[in-house]
Structure 1
Amino acid sequence: MKIKDIKVAKVEAPLITPFKTALRTVHSIHNIAVYIYTDDGQVGIGEAAPTAVITGETFGSITHAIEHYIKPAIMGLDIADIVHLMERLDTSIYQNTSAKAAVDMAIYDLCAQHYQTPLYKLLGGYRKELTTDITISVNETEEMVKDSLAAVARGFQILKVKVGKDPLGDVKRVVAIRQAVGQHITLRVDANQGWTPKQAVQIIGALEDAGTNIELVEQPVHYSNLAGMQYVTANTLTNILADESVFSARDALTIIEKRAADIINIKLMKTGGIHQAQKICHIAEANDMPCMIGCMLETKISVSAAAHFAASQKNITMIDLDGPSLCLKDPITGGPIFDNARITMTDAVGIGFSI
């Protein structure tokens, strides 16, 4: 099974409501689908999400990277030769992690097809079901409370509350949501790098004192400020989750060595795909640090690949794969079953799409 051709196409999906964080506001997903064709007629699929404020990539840069750098580097290679393939993929161009992730997913899709097994079983097969949180976009307090109650009504028991645009009002937002949804709902808070270290300690301390009982705070300060992450982690009781601070296995090791977080968020768009994500997960597991699996604004294509990876790994203890739940409609059929908070793997081979 050798790579015969690689093609890219647009994949779009409108969102139910605008997605708002401290970094951006998005109304509709506009991503890139990647199709890898083999000499024996099989097709693998992946997806890249242009997230310029995080990975530095745009629709044009991803397409260019795949067509002019990645494709020439891996054409004609055998799908079963994963180590060689991933080495060529990784060295084809510097960074461009989302472009690499889309190709990586399609390769793993084909590899699992080759062995006639669902991808999650090929990768480890730890479990078949996952429970995801759902994102509550940053807005005025009343609207966030309304969105939180609507999410709970849909069956979500874990809410990831976006903050960071208005530090003075963030405590008020989270307190109001906790009062509205009750203590039985798990709350996660994501500042998207929106606070200074001192603000973070003050805000998290206020949330602790207010009895909000939040499970974690994600990326409270700028991704490059590891000293700030250390300061926040050392001076709060709440678990700190490193997101934008971790793109690579080396980043993960640095976070662990500096004790700059309690949990690591793995996203395929940051790591460059499943192959590199495995390295991060294993390093974290060896150091007794749990991981979350997350996603950018992605459709069912790439979120399904992330779900397969998450289902295969014991050390991924938290799931943030709400992309399909945020979309008004799915752009593609097949793959794992996304039923609001519950994600169920099927017995379909590969990632599970019929193309």
Structure 2
Amino acid sequence: MVPMDPSISSSSSPLRLPGSPTSPGASSTPSPRPTLVAAGRQPAAAPSTTRLRAISPSQSQSPPTPASPVEPFGFDALKGTFSVDVAAADARALDVPLAAPFTIASSRLVAVSNVAVRVELRTGAVGWGEAPVLPSVTAEDQPAALDAAGRACAALVGAPAAPLGAVLQDLASVLPGHAFASARAGVEMALIDAVANSIGIPLWRLFGGASDSVTTDITIPIVTPNEAAQLAAKYRGQGFQTLKLKVGKNLNSDIEVLKAIRFVHPDCSFILDANEGYTANQAIEVLDRLNEMGVTPVLFEQPVHRDDWDGLRDVTSVAMDKYKVAVAADESCRNLLDAQKIIDGNLAHVINIKLAKLGVLGALEIIDAARKANIALMIGGMVETRIAMGFAGHLAAGLGCFSFIDLDTPLLLSEDPVYGGYEAFGPLYKFTNARGHGGFLHLDNDASK
């Protein structure tokens, strides 16, 4: 482990990205340690839009020799004891086509347009993160996330060594709230991955060590009944027992798709995800009609608009009282205040944790609140590569507290740009890597290749 410099305070200090606002009434007294923008440093230029391109890994490159780990391995302990000193950091556009268009109630995608983040510590350890972008859910589009992550990376390189916890808290203060959640998540992932690589342990151990594997569902987007049946038959052959069906654009069409899937995969479990597409009355009608078919979903995710709290409460009540169906809040939960509102008002039975809408630290806060309130948890994502999904999978495996695992979107891409990382055996993800999340990309500075 990197030894803690005794001159470094463990308390968080003001971290200022180029262009970040100063809190009203802030004292003009200098901070006990330098800010993340080094003295005389010019504001960072706009981050490069050079794309990431997968190339064969160099056999001559080998990971840095890890320092001897110090017990305990827990993430909370490391936040106070590990000194982060960033040598290099970079944010790049990460564009990967989908194998087929992915349509949900609120949007349609043909490619991943995310942001990859690479952080290298002065120990030589490297970490990778990904800022997943889905404008119907995240506040950022790709250019905004790329700009925010790029500024954060420039600030990290210009900053002195500091405790991991202080760096992460400062990062949350300068990329605050839901408005910067995706970019913040990408940088947080890369920093935490670099730390885990430096001390030589996998992330699932860092987050608690409950398990080294997870089993995911797989998603069928909004398609025709025939297309849905073909996908369901394919996924049945691959061993998937839980299918997540995107609904919410047309109630009658949704029912026909459900019938077609049920015909080819009669033993599967269903998750319905309306992505805010129904009114409360429509959502309840869907459950009524499914009951007539003898179908009971295991979960009904985000049935109504994110701000329709009364509608969410009504669907949650009817779904459980009448049909014993749990309801999950996804888009309705964008921060800890939303989570507390859901918990206090009994507005949903499950909260869906997505790092891209909450950030890593924000997600851990909500997980803690939900567990204390005995609210069930789901972990999901946007449309992501195995960088972000690998991090989320390690988190879920290590904590061992998720009732629903929805980490399937790398399976929907036309190509896999990620080297290393977890191993997928149908729905089973095994985290066999020795350190971090194990996934990495190769940067190609020639965007024409």
- 2:218 equivalent to 1:134: yes
The answer (yes or no) to whether the contact 2:123–2:198 under 8 Å persists in 1 is no
Task: Give per-residue Cα distances to partners, 1:258-297, cap 9 Å, x unaligned.
Answer: 1111111101101112x22111111111111111110100
- Residue of structure 2 equivalent to 1:92: 174
> In 1, Cα distance between the equivalents of 2:397 and 2:278?
33
> How far apart are residue 230 of structure 1 and its match?
0.4
> In 2, Cα distance between the equivalents of 1:70 and 1:188?
38
- Residue of structure 2 equivalent to 1:59: 142
Which has the greater radius of gyration?
2
- Residue of structure 1 equivalent to 2:388: 302
Q: Report the secondary structure of 1:44's partner residue.
A: strand
- Residue of structure 2 equivalent to 1:332: 418
Q: Report the secondary structure of 1:29's partner residue.
A: strand
The answer (yes or no) to whether the contact 1:205–1:236 under 8 Å persists in 2 is no
- The partner residue of 2:249 within 155, 161, 165 is 165
The answer (yes or no) to whether the contact 1:187–1:213 under 8 Å persists in 2 is yes
The answer (yes or no) to whether the contact 2:422–2:433 under 8 Å persists in 1 is no
Paired amino acid for 2:330: D
- The partner residue of 1:26 within 102, 109, 112 is 109
- 2:305 equivalent to 1:215: no
- Structure 1 stretch displaced more, 172-181 or 18-27: 172-181
Paired amino acid for 1:282: D
Paired amino acid for 1:288: N
- The partner residue of 1:351 within 419, 437, 448 is 437
- Residue of structure 1 equivalent to 2:28: none
Identity value in percent: 32
> In 1, Cα distance between the equivalents of 2:160 and 2:223?
48
- 2:247 equivalent to 1:247: no
- The structure with the largest helix share of the pair is 1
Runs of 4 or more, structure 1, over 3 Å off, are: none
The answer (yes or no) to whether the contact 2:93–2:142 under 8 Å persists in 1 is no
- Residue of structure 2 equivalent to 1:264: 351
Task: Give per-residue Cα distances to partners, 1:206-234, cap 9 Å, x unaligned.
Answer: 21232112111110000111111001101
Q: Report the secondary structure of 2:167's partner residue.
A: helix
Paired amino acid for 2:298: E
Structure 1 pair 178–111 and aligned structure 2 pair: CA distance change class (3 A): same
- The partner residue of 1:175 within 259, 265, 270 is 259
- 2:366 equivalent to 1:284: no
> In 2, Cα distance between the equivalents of 1:187 and 1:44?
36
Structure 1 pair 77–202 and aligned structure 2 pair: CA distance change class (3 A): farther
Q: Where does structure 2 lack aligned partners over 5 or more consecutive residues?
A: 1-83, 442-449
TM-score, length of structure 1 as denominator length: 0.94
> How far apart are residue 74 of structure 1 and its match?
7.4
Task: Give per-residue Cα distances to partners, 1:282-320, cap 9 Å, x unaligned.
Answer: 111111111111010000111100011011112212110
The answer (yes or no) to whether the contact 2:313–2:348 under 8 Å persists in 1 is yes
- Structure 1 stretch displaced more, 240-249 or 4-13: 4-13
- 2:286 equivalent to 1:203: yes
Task: Give per-residue Cα distances to partners, 1:312-342, cap 9 Å, x unaligned.
Answer: 1122121100022111221011111122211
- Residue of structure 2 equivalent to 1:194: 277
The answer (yes or no) to whether the contact 2:89–2:153 under 8 Å persists in 1 is no
The answer (yes or no) to whether the contact 1:157–1:186 under 8 Å persists in 2 is yes
> How far apart are residue 149 of structure 1 and its match?
1.2
Number of aligned residue pairs? 352
The answer (yes or no) to whether the contact 1:70–1:92 under 8 Å persists in 2 is no
> In 1, Cα distance between the equivalents of 2:410 and 2:398?
20
